[in-house]
Structure 1
Amino acid sequence: MNQATRIIAIRHGETAWNVDTRIQGHLDIPLNDTGLWQARQVGQALADEPVAAIYSSDLLRAWATAQAVAQATGAPLNPERGLRERSFGSFQGRTFEQIEREVPEQALRWRKRDPDFAPDGGGESLTMLRERIACTVHQIAARHSGQQIVLVAHGGVMDVLYRLATHLDLQAPRTWQLTNAAINRLLWTGDHGLALVGWADTQHLEDSSRDEIHS
């Protein structure tokens, strides 16, 4: 009988481009001061959890977040390109407002979550992203039957994980949060794939110690 793999999925901490609503995609943007604090907080929140391994997108904002979790838990940290954010091609480096103004036809397809729309310049469609994430998570989780692992990735990846776990269509309106450094919990089995356990736990980010970085 297949034992479930317990998955803790974490979106990276905040970046300056998150604040500016600027598309990051595969561009390597570092965490800002708030993001570094969030990374430390999520690491501390997981410090007493049994973690067999951590897998992280190799992009700096995710990797730095994962390093904080690895330092707190002592679990081995592994880079995984398959956990990268969606490639946004020519959208990368532009704000939402710029995209709406400069390429309105593409912006409309993006806003309507057209599953087959891929931005110019090597962008991925939502269908391509879902296939990549489903395959990557299957391969990782299958190695850790009966164990708990941490996946550190990006907002687009978290969105796909939620949809896979709840069997929601790619075009279904999003009603769930994709908060930076929130703790999301899922189960994976070879027979049934992903199932949702808990989502967007941010209790560790409401700690009064945050005031220390603004004092």
Structure 2
Amino acid sequence: MLQLFFIRHGETEWNVEHRLQGRLNSNLTENGIRDAKLLGKRLMEIDFDAVYASPSLRTIETAKLVIGERTLPFKTDERLMEIDLGDWEGRTIDEIKAMDPDRYHLYENAPSQYANNGETFEDVESRLEAVLRDLERTHDSCNLLIVTHGVVIKVLQMICKENPIDLVWEPPFIEGTSVTLVKIEDNKRELLLEGDIAHKERKGAF
């Protein structure tokens, strides 16, 4: 049985400002750093074989805070990067709604029809599916820690549930440092946890 612990990076300065990041980056906040350390304590008893992370600085920093003093194989994979949002990146949601209301409406309400000068949700689905296939092929029965981004994890949920793209935003919301756990066994993918934040709520470990 392969278990994939998908973690969203910790809260960033731009998250607080409601500013879309995409391929750009902003620093973790004090809350983001604290939450990543809390998650590290929660996952302390989990024996991980390796860590995979998006090459964005916010995901790498989160991953290092979570694993702490552990020595683990650490790999970055560009296919785990956040959706490329083109000329929206670095702008606040209010700015985007003012400059591009029709396209933002599609992004939120009809994501299968959304297109920008970056990526579509189908593009994210394609590269994430490739990551999952590679992990299934190269790892047997083990636990993997995968630190990535909000949209990537929403697409992961969609893939595991075999939902259409227009349901990509269905709950739960993916908060910073939340855990989404996927079990893969006999070529079947099962979501065991979605957007879990028990470490923030001081509810202990797995």
TM-score strictly above 0.5? yes
RMSD: 1.7
Matched, 1:177 2:165: no
Q: Which residue of 2 is the match for residue 56 of structure 1?
A: 53
Q: Give the superposition deviation at 1:27.
A: 0.2
8 Å CA contact 2:53, 2:76 repeated in 1: yes
Identity of aligned residues (%): 25
Matched, 1:34 2:31: yes
Aligned length: 202
Query: SS state of the match for residue 61, structure 2?
Result: helix
Matched, 1:206 2:187: no
Matched, 1:191 2:187: yes
Q: Which residue of 1 is the match for residue 19 of structure 2?
A: 22
Residue from 65, 74, 77 that aligns with 1:77: 74
Query: SS state of the match for residue 204, structure 1?
Result: coil
Q: Give the superposition deviation at 1:190.
A: 6.6
Q: Provide the rounded CA distance (Å) in 1 between the counterparts of 2:121 and 2:102.
A: 17
8 Å CA contact 1:182, 1:202 repeated in 2: yes
Matched, 1:10 2:7: yes
Gaps of 5+ in 2: none
- Runs of 4+ in structure 1 deviating by more than 3 angstroms, as ranges, are none
Q: Provide the rounded CA distance (Å) in 1 between the counterparts of 2:201 and 2:187.
A: 37
Q: Provide the rounded CA distance (Å) in 2 between the counterparts of 1:113 and 1:85.
A: 19
8 Å CA contact 1:11, 1:180 repeated in 2: yes
Query: SS state of the match for residue 182, structure 2?
Result: strand
Q: Provide the rounded CA distance (Å) in 1 between the counterparts of 2:113 and 2:138.
A: 31
Q: Which amino acid aligns with 2:161?
A: T
Matched, 1:132 2:127: yes
**For residues 72 and 200 of structure 1, do their structure 2 counterparts lie closer, same or farther at Cα, with a shift above 3 Å needed?**
farther
Q: Give the superposition deviation at 1:72.
A: 4.8
Gaps of 5+ in 1: 209-215
User: Structure 1, residues 88-135: CA drift from partner, whole Å, max 9, x if none?
Assistant: 001101111111111122222212233242212xx1001111111111
Q: Provide the rounded CA distance (Å) in 1 between the counterparts of 2:138 and 2:66.
A: 20
**For residues 196 and 77 of structure 1, do their structure 2 counterparts lie closer, same or farther at Cα, with a shift above 3 Å needed?**
same
